[in-house]
Amino acid sequence: MVIIFKHLNPILIKMAMTIIVLVLVMSVAYNYPLWTPIGIGILVAAVSYSVGDLYILKISNNVIASLADLFMATWLIWIIGPLFQGLRIPFFVAFLSALLITGGEWFFHKYMVNYRKDIHHNPKYPN
């Protein structure tokens, strides 16, 4: 149970950031139905958090983790995203969305490094 709470705050921040960007780009700018960017945002945030933030960021640095997030987000939005509504997503829309998400990821990674330090020094959250 402690492990879940340890990751709850960061994953909620990441989901909110990702969903806001995708709604702005896909729904507002490109008129996709609202549920499409919300579903894709949850998927992108979950995969990106578990692979990018918990693994890649831990063994590398912010630049490498951000580039990995750019690649993962582009691929997930462009290839996997259409499975949500059956709507084709052009590469440019996927890449633009991923680029904006990656801008937020740069700052999110800095938060994660500090958050991880705080968690490991807090007796409430055992390793």
Q: pTM of the full predicted structure?
A: 0.86
Q: Which residues contact 9 (CB under 8 A, 6 or more apart)?
A: 115
pLDDT tens per residue, range 38-79: 999 999 999 999 999 999 998 999 999 999 999 999 999 999
